[in-house]
Amino acid sequence: MLEGWLARSLLSAGAHLVEPNADSVAGFRGKPGITWHQSLDALPPDLKPEIVVLGVKPQTAPSVLPQLARFRAATFLSVMAGKRIDGMSKALGGAAIVRSMPNTPSAVGRGMTVAVAGPGVTAAAKKRCDDLLAAVGEVAWVGDEALIDPVTAVSGGGPAYVFLLIETLAAAGEKAGLPADLAMRLARVTVSGSGELARLSPESAAQLRQNVTSPGGTTLEALKVLMAADGIQPIFDRAIAAATRRAAELGS
Sorted by where each begins, the domain ranges of the chain are 2-144, 158-251
Tell me what pLDDT residue 252 has.
Answer: 59
Do 2-144 and 158-251 fold alike per CATH? no
Q: pLDDT digit string (tens) for 73-129? A: 999 999 988 889 999 999 999 999 999 999 999 888 899 999 999 999 999 999 999
Tell me what pLDDT residue 4 has.
Answer: 80
- Band the pLDDT of 51: cuts 50, 70, 90: very high
Q: pLDDT digit string (tens) for 7-49? A: 888 877 788 999 888 888 888 877 877 888 989 999 999 999 9
Mean pLDDT of 152-163: 96
- Band the pLDDT of 190: cuts 50, 70, 90: very high
Tell me what pLDDT residue 200 has.
Answer: 96
Q: Is the pLDDT of residue 167 over 80?
A: yes
Q: Is the pLDDT of residue 193 over 90?
A: yes
The angle at the Cα of 161, spanning 158 to 162, to the nearest 5 degrees, equals 90
What's the longest Cα–Cα distance across the chain?
71
Tell me what pLDDT residue 3 has.
Answer: 80
Q: pLDDT digit string (tens) for 127-145? A: 999 999 999 999 999 999 9
160, 152 contact by CB (below 8 A): no
Tell me what pLDDT residue 33 has.
Answer: 78
Query: DSSP characters for 45-62?
Result: TT---SEEEE-S-GGGHH
The Cα 252–Cα 82 span in angstroms is 8
Q: Is the pLDDT of residue 251 over 90?
A: no
Tell me what pLDDT residue 58 has.
Answer: 84
Q: Is 93 helix (H, G, I), strand (E, B) or coil?
A: coil
Q: 19-33, 47-61, 198-212: which has the highest mean pLDDT?
A: 198-212
Mean pLDDT of 157-180: 98
- CATH number of the 2-144 domain: 3.40.50.720
Q: Is the pLDDT of residue 240 over 70?
A: yes
CATH architecture label of 158-251: Orthogonal Bundle (1.10)
Cα–Cα separations (whole angstroms), residue 95 to 35, 124, 153: 24, 15, 27
User: Please, what is the average pLDDT of the chain?
Assistant: 93
